[in-house]
């Protein structure tokens, strides 16, 4: 095993690539939850994004349309959730679970004709620089545009929530929809927007899997990543930067444990397989143990049904 510096660079590069779907889905869900809506349908929205992206790529042969289409499909399916929970006031948890089951089933049905079609190569940026610069090359360059977007997203989200007026409105709606409504804020509209935004990001996360990471469509290809993204949001105590850290730790240890196995470390493999989950939880709990800050970030009215009396 060569533990030289360029190898570590390659390793970090592949860790980053594997955390992208988690970052995207968790960042989207974070906004949804900050507005007080608990959408457990992340997995379902991701898988719909994955099949729509792949199908559009096959049909139009245009990756841009495929990416945008996957986000639109995420929006459409989250609109169902929004309509049910916001307009018909159904229970968030039950509706979200139903959305996941529905998404997995629908994607399998839509995807019947797209199984077994090899994907298209997704263009990467600055691939020349990747080879030239040791260590930093594979970390910084030669990635898809979606990866660069994913790594800026948590910072944008942080800025949005803390520094913009709209961010403040979203937080107000999540903390106390009644007071927000009394202030003249259209709570339902804000929540709808946040749900749709979450849907778009989950759709993109799915498309990253089917178009970039493992370019093909196979049923159930998200394989539980939506649930991990959901858990990340909670363990990161609704802080976008901690979501990024959590996703990187999870992706990092997943990849490291595979390398440790390949090298032949004499550690029980079952323990290594459980390590990503354990470490992510431990680290996030440790870095978020300030209870004052947790209270600050937790949307107080998460999952509670709000309706405006007329």
Partner 1 sequence: MYKNFLRYLISAFFLLGLGTSANAEFKVGFVYVGPTGDHGWTYQHHEGRNAVEAAGIKTTFVESVPEGADAERVIRQLAQSGHDLIFTTSFGYMDPTNKVAKDFPNVKFEHATGYKREHSNVSTYSARFYEGRTLLGHIAGKMTKTNTIGYIASFPIPEVIRGINAMTLAAQKVNPNIKTKIVWVFTWYDPGKEAEAAQALIDQGADIIMQHTDSTAPVQTAEKAGVWSFGQASDMQRFAPKSILTSIIDDWAPYYVERAIAARDGTWGQQDTWHGLKEGMVAMAPYNSAMGSDLVKEVEQLQKDLASGKTHSFTGPIYDQKGNMLVAEGKVADDGMLAGMSVYVKGVEGDIPK
81-100 binders of partner 1 (CB under 8 A) = none
243-282 binders of partner 1 (CB under 8 A) = 254-255, 258-259, 261-264, 266, 268-270, 273
Out of 9, 36, 49, 111, the residue judged to bind partner 1 by CB under 8 A = 111
Total binding residues toward partner 1, as defined by CB under 8 A: 40
Nearer to partner 1, 112 or 165 (CB): 112
Name all contacts of 243-248 with Cβ < 8 Å and 24+ positions apart: 243/23, 243/26, 243/27, 243/30, 243/154, 244/23, 244/151, 244/154, 245/283, 245/284, 245/287, 246/22, 246/26, 246/280, 246/283, 246/284, 247/19, 247/22, 247/23, 247/26, 248/15, 248/16, 248/19
Q: Is 301 helix (H, G, I), strand (E, B) or coil?
A: coil
**240 contacts 30 by C-beta, under 8 angstroms:** yes
Nearer to partner 1, 259 or 308 (CB): 259
CA distances from 167 to 159, 161, 162, 171, 214 (A): 8, 4, 6, 6, 35
Nearer to partner 1, 89 or 115 (CB): 115
Q: Is 3 in the site for partner 1 (CB under 8 A)?
A: no
Out of 156, 220, 290, 294, the residue judged to bind partner 1 by CB under 8 A = 220
Shortest reach from residue 278's CB to partner 1, in Å: 15
Handedness of CA 159, 165, 166, 167 (dihedral sign): positive
Q: Which segment (109-117, 149-157, 198-206, 295-303) binds partner 1 by CB under 8 A?
A: 109-117
Nearer to partner 1, 192 or 250 (CB): 250
Q: Is 214 in the site for partner 1 (CB under 8 A)?
A: yes
- The tokens describing 219, both together, are 């049923």
Which residue ranges make up the site for partner 1 (CB under 8 A)? 1-2, 7, 10-11, 14, 18, 21, 108, 111-112, 115-116, 118-119, 209, 213-216, 218-221, 223-225, 254-255, 258-259, 261-264, 266, 268-270, 273
């Amino acid at each position: 095993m060569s533990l030289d510096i360029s190898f570590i660079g390659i390793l970090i590069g592949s860790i980053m690539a594997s955390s992208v779907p988690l970052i995207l889905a968790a960042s989207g869900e974070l906004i949804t939850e900050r507005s007080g809506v608990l959408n457990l349908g992340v997995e379902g929205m991701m898988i719909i994004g994955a099949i729509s992206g792949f199908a559009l790529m096959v049909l139009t042969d245009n990756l841009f349309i495929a990416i945008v289409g996957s986000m639109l499909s995420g929006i459409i399916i989250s609109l169902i959730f929004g309509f049910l929970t916001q307009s018909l006031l159904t229970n968030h948890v039950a509706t979200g679970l139903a959305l996941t089951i529905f998404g997995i089933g629908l994607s399998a049905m839509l995807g019947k004709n797209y199984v077994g079609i090899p994907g298209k190569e997704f263009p990467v940026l600055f691939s020349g620089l990747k080879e030239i610069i040791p260590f930093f090359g594979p970390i910084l360059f030669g990635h898809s545009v979606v990866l660069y977007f994913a790594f800026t997203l948590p910072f944008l989200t942080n800025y949005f929530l803390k520094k913009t007026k709209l961010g403040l409105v979203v937080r107000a709606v999540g903390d106390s929809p009644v007071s927000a409504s009394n202030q003249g804020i259209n709570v339902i509209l804000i929540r709808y927007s946040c749900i749709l935004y979450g849907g778009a990001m989950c759709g993109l996360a799915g498309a990253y899997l089917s178009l970039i990471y493992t370019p093909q469509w196979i049923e159930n290809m998200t394989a539980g990543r939506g649930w991990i993204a959901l858990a990340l949001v909670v363990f990161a105590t609704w802080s976008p930067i901690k979501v990024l850290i959590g996703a990187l730790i999870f992706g990092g240890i997943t990849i490291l444990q595979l390398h440790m196995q390949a090298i032949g470390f004499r550690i029980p493999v079952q323990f290594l397989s459980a390590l990503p989950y354990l470490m992510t939880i431990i680290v996030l709990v440790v870095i978020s143990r300030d209870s004052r800050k947790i209270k600050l970030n937790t949307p107080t009215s998460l999952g509670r049904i709000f309706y405006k009396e007329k």
